[in-house]
Amino acid sequence: MQLSRRKFLQMLSIAGASTIAASTGALSLPSLAFGAEEGSEEFRYSHCVMCNHGPHCGVKALVKDNKILRLEKRDGYNNNLLCAKGLSSTQDLYDPARVLYPLRRVNAKGSPGEWERITWDEALAEIAEKFNGIKEKHGAEKVLFMTGDPKEPRSALQRLAFTFGSPNMGTESSTCFKATELAVKLIVGPEWHTATSLATGAGPTPGKTKVCIIWGNNPGWSAPFSYNGLKTGQESGQVKYIVVDPRITPTAQNFADMHLQIRPGTDGALALCFANYLIEHDAYDKDFIENWAHGFEEYREYCTEFTLEKTAEICDIPVETLQKACDILVTEGSPIVCKSAAAFPHHTNGINNYRAIMLLIPLTGSLDVPGGLSIENEPINFDEWWGTFEFARSKELLPELDHLRVDRQYFPVWADTDQQGSLQLNKIPEYVENGDIRACLMLGGNAMMWPQSHEYQEAFKNMEFVVAGDFYNNAWTHDYVDMLLPVAMSFERAAPLTIFGRKVFLREPIVEPAGEARSDYRICCDIGTALGFGDVFWNGGPESDENCLREILRTIDVENPPTLEDLRAAHPDPIEIPLKGEAQSKKYELGLLRDDGQPGFSSPSGKVEFASEILREHGFDPLPVFNEPVYSPVSTPDVAKDYPLVMNSGSRVPYYTHSKERHLPWLNQFMPEPVVRLSKADAEERGLADGDMVRITSPVNDEGIVAKLEITNIVRPKTIDMFHGWHQANVNEIISRDFDPISGFPPFKEGLCQVAKA
């Protein structure tokens, strides 16, 4: 059918076009929906923070009259794609439920909130009065400064906490990245850049990497920006993939040359089995071990316990499958890479499980070589959160304040290896009960983050004063706070910058903050000023983001660091800080990893520690020993009689991040309510049908939680898959407060439970 002139004109008039382009060929229809009206449209650039603030995927926003018409991916940029969440971020921005004004609670905490609107001046005055009052009476360290998932506020929040005089700044990394980081520190030493560049591993380099183990990770959903790198590796035909995961996931489907559907909590045994097999078959880097390993003999002997047969039994993997996976490692050779998830150590034996996995890297000669896992070259003094250590004032002020940290008594290994200035928060109920923490500033917090969440809600309730900053008023957290401040979203703020390694991008606010929302950086500066430190915070105000950015840039320890003007001139392109020398492999041979410039690592022995001296010093077994989960069919068979299913939580879905985004209509349609997944056999055994409402109980919670059942083949038999982040069915209420004694991490991905019709 031809496009008649009449139709052509009609379509234009619907779109409101004021001009008609001439027909010049087959596709002569001019742009209709996009640019037809009067008024200028332009593209503005920022990045997305809909997942965990890490990847900073690029956003190109089409803006007209200060409104975002649509988002597109941003080219000429590192992570130049957008996922379902990123594409939904305007729904967050325009959500009518956003908190727009400072709110003060008028009724008692612990009940549904009744709030009165106050001004920012009133809010800041009260915060200052309360915090300074506590400082005077009890000490500044009694005030806790924390974030939940949001990473962007952290450098500014540290500057605030440490200037105020409290070392007690903590984050959600109490259950996330810091355990992988700690496990690696126990191998290569506490030097921060080395550990963080290795911690969660990386994908393969086609042509160099022989094997990529994707361990407890579903990057197809949790990190789409990394997917293409993995796919390119596979399509090169030169990399073999071993996927270790109890579930069938798109990652397992799309990659695995070998998929090991392991019993949750037994990954340490599997890693030790791999090591034993490699050692027995002489398929490891003897040269490296001879020169750079510490405690290898103890380790080698311990690994001999993990034969194929024994490991197959522990991990509940068929022995032939296990053999095939081991043979891939031996046949393909090295270097290998391991790609894992930040929160992989959600086990009571998490640190040692992860150490066992990461030790495969030095064992196979894959450490800081092309195709293996690389350590950063000439690291810049950026902290983990796009600030600098100098801006955050951590190195400057923490040494004096360190003895006032509240977590050392519980998790000394964490506290003693921490170079970031970040607390282990999982003992908040104890900190409050002991009187060690009396007040809190919480920027983006979530009481559901912790096992037995109600104990943490109670702790916040019992604090003298809690002020939270958030986009939304979430009852499960904000029913326990005294004040709620409106925070600006990603497209409304300029800080922090977008930094990928050595590339720095400007981040321009795309639209004005809604209502009276302020950026986290500005909130920290305003509070800092109200507390009496105006000189440190440039007296707060609307210039705060810019003032902070200038300070961050000024303190980058390179010659002629870029200025804000430089970044604006380059925008939307980045400025890349060049290396002084060349990128190097095997930096440990060149004295580039230690503060004293000597060859080796920053570990106590100066070598890669297969037996950790830091652990030995703290009274722990120095080897990466395997222990069963605190609750498991093997460690607690009596409990398993009543609770025969292995609990697993924390699986990702591509349209939510933790508890975020559930209220966004574009995403909520994909999973509108809490869901738990069971295999067909387990469901049939319990007389359950797809769609039934079921109750999930555990040894620590008989009442349990109720969720909708999905029967699926992607879940391992005798295991459940329960999604976290649902306030109506908070899986954390069936998880015990048994923490990994080294990291303090909770057992989100192990344990026992039962499922029955609700």
Partner 1 sequence: MTAKYGMVINLERCIGCYACVVACKQCWGTRPGVNYNMMNYVEWGEYPDAHQRYVSTMCNHCDNPPCVSACPSQATYKTDEGPVIVDFELCEGCGACVDACPYDHRFLITEDMTTSYEEVVMPCEEKSSKRVNVTEKCTFCYERLAEGLQPMCTVHCPGQCRIFGDVNDPESDISKYIAEKKPTQIAGTSLYYVVPENMDRSLVPPDLADAVSAQMSAKNEKKSTSGDAAKKAPEGVPAAAVAGVVGVAAVAAVGGGVAYKRSKRKSSFEQSE
Report, in Å, the least distance between residue 92 CB and partner 1.
11
Per the document, the length of the chain is 758
**Is residue 756 involved in binding partner 1 (CB under 8 A)?**
no
**Is residue 72 involved in binding partner 1 (CB under 8 A)?**
yes
Q: Binding partner 1 by CB under 8 A: which of 189, 203, 204, 224?
A: 224
**Is residue 689 involved in binding partner 1 (CB under 8 A)?**
no
Alpha carbon distance 407, 174 (integer Å) = 11
**Is residue 231 involved in binding partner 1 (CB under 8 A)?**
yes
Report, in Å, the least distance between residue 341 CB and partner 1.
16
Tokens of 552: 């961050």
**Is residue 570 involved in binding partner 1 (CB under 8 A)?**
no
Alpha carbon distance 377, 501 (integer Å) = 10
Alpha carbon distance 619, 616 (integer Å) = 5
Alpha carbon distance 325, 336 (integer Å) = 13
**Is residue 83 involved in binding partner 1 (CB under 8 A)?**
yes
Tokens of 418: 């921490």
Alpha carbon distance 758, 708 (integer Å) = 9
Alpha carbon distance 602, 596 (integer Å) = 9
Instruction: List binders of partner 1 among 278-337 (CB under 8 A).
Output: 318, 321
Q: How many chain residues bind partner 1 (CB under 8 A)?
A: 70
Instruction: List binders of partner 1 among 20-39 (CB under 8 A).
Output: 26-34
Q: Binding partner 1 by CB under 8 A: which of 10, 119, 236, 598?
A: 10
Contact 532, 607 (CB under 8 A): no
Please provide the DSSP assignment of 446-488 as one string: -GGGSSSHHHHHHHHHHSSEEEEEESS--HHHHTT-SEEEEB-
Contact 743, 411 (CB under 8 A): yes
Q: Binding partner 1 by CB under 8 A: which of 308, 319, 706, 714?
A: 714
Report, in Å, the least distance between residue 55 CB and partner 1.
11
Alpha carbon distance 696, 639 (integer Å) = 15
Tokens of 679: 């295999």
Q: For partner 1, which stretch binds (CB under 8 A), given 93-101, 436-444, 492-500, 629-637?
A: 93-101
Please provide the DSSP assignment of 359-402 as one string: THHHHTT-BTSTTSBPPPSS--SB-TTSSBHHHHTHHHHHHHHG
Select 58 or 429, whichever has its Cβ closest to partner 1: 58
Select 68 or 611, whichever has its Cβ closest to partner 1: 68
Residue 324: in which H helix or E strand, if any?
helix 319-332
Report, in Å, the least distance between residue 665 CB and partner 1.
5
Report, in Å, the least distance between residue 247 CB and partner 1.
10
Q: Binding partner 1 by CB under 8 A: which of 48, 68, 256, 279?
A: 68
**Is residue 381 involved in binding partner 1 (CB under 8 A)?**
no
Select 80 or 409, whichever has its Cβ closest to partner 1: 80
Instruction: List binders of partner 1 among 640-679 (CB under 8 A).
Output: 654-655, 665-667, 669-670, 679
Q: Binding partner 1 by CB under 8 A: which of 118, 128, 248, 758?
A: 248
x/- contact string, 191-220, with partner 1 (CB under 8 A)?
-----------------------------x
**Is residue 257 involved in binding partner 1 (CB under 8 A)?**
no
Q: For partner 1, which stretch binds (CB under 8 A), given 3-11, 342-350, 403-411, 454-462?
A: 3-11
Q: Binding partner 1 by CB under 8 A: which of 90, 197, 394, 547?
A: 90
Q: Binding partner 1 by CB under 8 A: which of 1, 581, 597, 638?
A: 1
Alpha carbon distance 506, 498 (integer Å) = 6
Cα 288 to Cα 363, 736, 749, distances in angstroms? 8, 41, 34
Q: Which amino acid is at 594?
A: R
Alpha carbon distance 88, 103 (integer Å) = 27
Q: Binding partner 1 by CB under 8 A: which of 76, 94, 125, 642?
A: 94
Select 84 or 99, whichever has its Cβ closest to partner 1: 84
Angle at 665 between CA 694 and CA 73, to 5 degrees: 120
**Is residue 616 involved in binding partner 1 (CB under 8 A)?**
no
Select 28 or 304, whichever has its Cβ closest to partner 1: 28
**Is residue 14 involved in binding partner 1 (CB under 8 A)?**
yes
Contact 290, 610 (CB under 8 A): no
Select 235 or 557, whichever has its Cβ closest to partner 1: 235
Q: Say what the alpha-carbon torsion angle 64, 69, 75, 77 is, to the nearest 10 degrees.
A: 90
Q: Say what the alpha-carbon torsion angle 62, 68, 69, 73 is, to the nearest 10 degrees.
A: 50
| Closest among 327, 326, 329, 325 to 211, alpha carbons compared | 329
Report how many helices (DSSP H) and strands (DSSP E) the chain contains, helices first: 30, 25
When computed from its CA atoms, the radius of gyration of the chain, rounded to whole angstroms, is: 27
Contact 521, 495 (CB under 8 A): yes
Select 36 or 706, whichever has its Cβ closest to partner 1: 36
Tokens of 741: 């004694």
**Is residue 19 involved in binding partner 1 (CB under 8 A)?**
no
Q: Binding partner 1 by CB under 8 A: which of 250, 412, 561, 644?
A: 250
Q: Binding partner 1 by CB under 8 A: which of 100, 551, 712, 727?
A: 712
**Is residue 225 involved in binding partner 1 (CB under 8 A)?**
yes
Q: Binding partner 1 by CB under 8 A: which of 88, 457, 477, 490?
A: 88
- Site of interaction with partner 1 (CB under 8 A): 1-3, 7, 10-11, 13-16, 26-34, 64, 67-73, 81-84, 87-88, 90-91, 94-96, 220-221, 224-225, 227-228, 231, 248, 250-251, 253-254, 261, 318, 321, 654-655, 665-667, 669-670, 679-680, 690-691, 710, 712-714, 716-717
